[in-house]
Amino acid sequence: MTSAAMDSHPEDEPALAARPGENQLIWTVWLTYGAFYFCRTNLSAALPGIESELGLDKTRMGVVLLGLKVAYGVGQFVNGQLSEQFSARKMLAIGMLASAALNVLFGFGTGVYFFLFVWAMNGYAQSMGWTPCVRVIGNWIPVLRRGRAIGIVGTGYQVTAGLTYLVSGFSVWLMGWRGALWLPPLILVASAAVMLAFLRESPAHHAGGTAAGAAARRDRQGGGSFLETMRLTLTNPALWLLAISLGMLNACRYGFIDWGVSHLAAIERAKTQRAEIAGALTGTSLTDFERGRLDELLALDLVDDTAQKQVVAAIDEGLLPAGSAAVDRGAVLDSAVQYAVLPLGAVFGSILAGWATDRFFGGRRAPVICGLLLVLAGLTLIYEPVARASFVATMGLLVCIGFCIFGPQVLLVGTAPADLARPGTEAAAAGFVNFFGYLGAAVAGDLLTAYLAEHYGWQVAVYAWAGWALAAAVAVAFLWNASGRAAAASEQSRPESLPRAVPSESAVT
């Protein structure tokens, strides 16, 4: 035996073997957190129908989407503290059942203020998902194997996000836009029942005791005061750059997630309307004026809202059938099917990005993040023309976009902040960066996207997504040579009697 082996920490050796019930715990958390997305991203499939039936424009619905992001960000901070005081199973159950009920309630609404209130409340209910899951993982999984466990759990919300597009798209096709708010909650309620049946908060609870669970909670507590932790976080320049980068990335990410189905549905609707206009032009009873009006419509970009107003006027004049004004449910379903493949690339991006930083860059995260963000900007620039040209090519491009979004996203929300945080502030660093991530998602990803699409057209909105990805790449490029090895060495040199901080929000959000 070498001297290095003799000097290893013997208390870490048992941690290499999984405890009884550990695999069940990992997959239960995988399903539990992933299931939240059925009642979180489902609204994207309902937006075209809401706009058509209720006359609520994109800007007003963008405010509704913003409400969830703001409430979610605030809720993460609050519930992160509460999850250390209350039962994780109870908090998860409350969050899941409340989110399901709020989705159903949303489906009965007709006004923007009602929608905003209910969807913001849903954002808070959704925020009760991740921090209790992290607490349970911390109780069960030792640090030596926690990265793998959180990596597995992290793929759950990507898979369920893809399934959400399919479920909500089918629900719209079956029941109209309200179906996207009424059917997915059934899956969330069923998942809550599975969670209550199989989730155990610690190995001690699994074995029927309580002492080990209490010890695990004590081990996970940090040692610094709130104000000292905040000072160390806010005076760390690297975290500000990561925060700006994640805010811009999330603006692009939620542009695709929240508005992508609306964009593709508008393209599919425009194809149908173009065929109807061409068919109307074959009529023999048209006057020269009417023929000229139809020719003008055919020359417009029917994807944009300004052109749709002229289509509605043509319907009122009797030039086109009234059915053209309704949102084609089949178009929403087709668009949702296309978007369901985005998480396929996301799973591979999440897994491979972290591996590449260790394998090729010695633990430096910025090169991989920056490279993927630059590719994302390029892919987003060609997304609009590809989406108009080919259904199959759009699906292939969305797989690549998913890869380039979630590879850097997973590194920015967890690995990089933990690497570059000052010792003892890892969780606070991740929370700080994450707050800016949701701020960018709310203001730029939801509200500004809605404004640009409504007033300047979808092409401008999509180009803005590309610009945000480029800005994220520029921000993180300033950290090109930054590495977490110094922080890791400091953490390893800390006396064993002092508590070790473990990431709270540092893997997936």
pLDDT at 205: 62
pTM higher than 0.95, yes or no?
A: no
- Tens-place pLDDT, residues 396-419: 999 999 999 988 988 887 667 777
Kindly tell me if the per-residue pLDDT of 18 is higher than 80.
Answer: no
pLDDT at 323: 60
Domain count, the chain: 2
Q: How far apart are CA 58 and CA 255, in angstroms?
A: 13
Long-range pairs for 16-20: beta carbons < 8 A, 24 or more residues apart: 16/144, 16/145, 18/145, 19/140, 19/203, 19/206, 20/203, 20/206
Burial class (CB in 10 A: 0-12, 13-18, 19+), 225: exposed
Domain holding 64: CATH number?
1.20.1250.20
> What dihedral angle (degrees, nearest 10) is formed by the CA atoms of 137, 143, 148, 153?
20
Kindly tell me if the per-residue pLDDT of 482 is higher than 70.
Answer: yes
CA dihedral (269, 272, 278, 280) positive or negative = negative
Cβ atoms < 10 Å from Cβ of 214 = 13
- The mean per-residue pLDDT over the stretch 325-353 comes to 78
Q: Are 482 and 406 in contact (CB under 8 A)?
A: no
Q: Are 163 and 346 in contact (CB under 8 A)?
A: no
- Confidence category of residue 5, pLDDT binned at 50, 70, 90: very low
> Residue 8 domain-assigned?
no
- Residues 216 and 250 both lie in one domain: no
- Tens-place pLDDT, residues 40-91: 989 988 998 898 889 888 889 989 988 998 898 788 767 766 665 678 899 9
Name the least confident of 188-202, 223-237, 476-490: 476-490
pLDDT at 125: 95
| Residue whose structure tokens are 């976080």 | 233
- Residues 111 and 259 both lie in one domain: no
> Residue 285 domain-assigned?
yes
Out of 13-17, 345-349, 355-359, give the one with best mean pLDDT.
Answer: 345-349
pLDDT at 187: 96
Name the least confident of 41-50, 120-129, 303-312: 303-312
Q: Which tokens belong to 139?
A: 């109780």
Residue 226 main-chain phi, psi, to 5 deg = -60, -45
> Residue 12 domain-assigned?
no
Q: Are 276 and 59 in contact (CB under 8 A)?
A: no
- Residues 140 and 262 both lie in one domain: no
pLDDT at 140: 81
pLDDT at 212: 45
**Eight-class DSSP state of 422:** P
- Which residue type, as a one-letter code, is found at position 320? L
Query: Nearest to residue 453, comparing CAs of 262, 324, 274?
Result: 262
Q: How far apart are CA 445 and CA 440, in angstroms?
A: 6
Query: Nearest to residue 87, comparing CAs of 125, 121, 36, 128?
Result: 128
Q: Are 419 and 433 in contact (CB under 8 A)?
A: no
Map residue 164 onto helix, strand or coil: helix
| Residue whose structure tokens are 């997915």 | 184
> Residue 350 domain-assigned?
yes
> Residue 441 domain-assigned?
yes
Q: Are 103 and 178 in contact (CB under 8 A)?
A: no
> Residue 331 domain-assigned?
yes
- Residues 70 and 208 both lie in one domain: yes
**Eight-class DSSP state of 509:** -
Query: Nearest to residue 109, comparing CAs of 168, 159, 50, 167?
Result: 50
- Residues 357 and 214 both lie in one domain: no
Q: Which tokens belong to 195?
A: 């969670």
Q: Among the three residues 221, 248, 278, which one is the final residue of a domain in this structure?
A: 221
Query: Nearest to residue 327, comparing CAs of 265, 381, 375?
Result: 265
- Residues 198 and 240 both lie in one domain: no
Please state whether 64 falls in left (phi above 0), alpha (psi between -120 and 50) or beta.
alpha
Name the least confident of 85-89, 209-213, 364-368, 497-501: 497-501
How far lies 489's CA from each of 146, 239, 314, 484, in Å? 19, 19, 70, 9
- Residues 239 and 210 both lie in one domain: no
Q: Are 261 and 48 in contact (CB under 8 A)?
A: yes
Please state whether 17 falls in left (phi above 0), alpha (psi between -120 and 50) or beta.
beta
Q: Among the three residues 196, 221, 246, which one is the final residue of a domain in this structure?
A: 221
Q: Are 300 and 362 in contact (CB under 8 A)?
A: no
> Residue 362 domain-assigned?
yes
- Confidence category of residue 236, pLDDT binned at 50, 70, 90: very high
pLDDT at 387: 93
Query: Nearest to residue 479, comparing CAs of 420, 438, 399?
Result: 420
Query: Nearest to residue 434, comparing CAs of 152, 80, 158, 14?
Result: 80
Q: Are 161 and 257 in contact (CB under 8 A)?
A: yes
**Eight-class DSSP state of 67:** H
> Residue 11 domain-assigned?
no
Residue 259 main-chain phi, psi, to 5 deg = -115, -5
- Confidence category of residue 488, pLDDT binned at 50, 70, 90: very low
- Which residue type, as a one-letter code, is found at position 72? Y
- Residues 59 and 101 both lie in one domain: yes
Q: Among the three residues 221, 256, 272, which one is the final residue of a domain in this structure?
A: 221
Query: Nearest to residue 102, comparing CAs of 20, 189, 24?
Result: 189
- Residues 373 and 391 both lie in one domain: yes
pLDDT at 326: 45
- The residue ranking higher by pLDDT, 128 or 16, is 128
- Residues 264 and 327 both lie in one domain: yes
What would you report as the CA-atom Rg of the chain, rounded to the nearest whole angstrom?
A: 25
- Residues 124 and 192 both lie in one domain: yes
Q: How far apart are CA 239 and CA 188, in angstroms?
A: 35
Q: Which tokens belong to 324?
A: 């053209």
- Residues 270 and 294 both lie in one domain: yes
pLDDT at 223: 44
Domain coverage including residue 202: 21-221
Q: Are 76 and 289 in contact (CB under 8 A)?
A: no
